[in-house]
Amino acid sequence: MELNTIKPADGSKHAKRRVGRGIGSGLGKTAGRGHKGQKSRSGGYHKVGFEGGQMPLQRRLPKRGFKSALLKFNAEINLTDLQRLGAAEVDILTLKQAGLVGELAKVVKVIKSGELSAKVALKGIVATAGAKAAIEAAGGSVT
């Protein structure tokens, strides 16, 4: 292949449509715009969601709900996950490496769901009252 033999791929280039150039072109007179109306005029168009003056759908429906942007930084794990992890000391970095919490997590909370029999020491991780009782009953600690 030489630089002077390079060609564009087949079908990638095509002639531009020339509108308004007489009957024989097939796109004369109204130039493919139909008859009258806002879309037939030059410069005549409207923004997305415009319904001809009728109250648009996004304004007819009520506003509802709220989703906090901070939720992605919170994560929770249960006692069963701690049992399965099998580590004596657990911190956020350990949980991230094990894939139990997301990489963005900054606050991790242990909830009382499942059973825990292993002794686990939590460092920098919060626990609910029930989960803390279960951890301490198994001989672990929460700091």
Domain boundaries, the chain: 18-47, 71-142
Length of the chain equals: 143
Give pLDDT tens digits along the chain (143 positions).
899 999 999 999 999 999 999 999 999 999 999 999 988 999 988 899 999 899 999 999 999 999 999 999 999 999 999 999 888 899 999 999 999 999 999 999 999 999 999 999 999 999 999 999 999 999 999 98
- Extract the tokens encoding 26: 């097939």
Element (H, E) at 84: helix 79-85
- Extract the tokens encoding 122: 């939590």
Q: What is the pTM of this model?
A: 0.55
Confirm or reject CATH 3.100.10.10 for domain 71-142, answering yes or no: yes
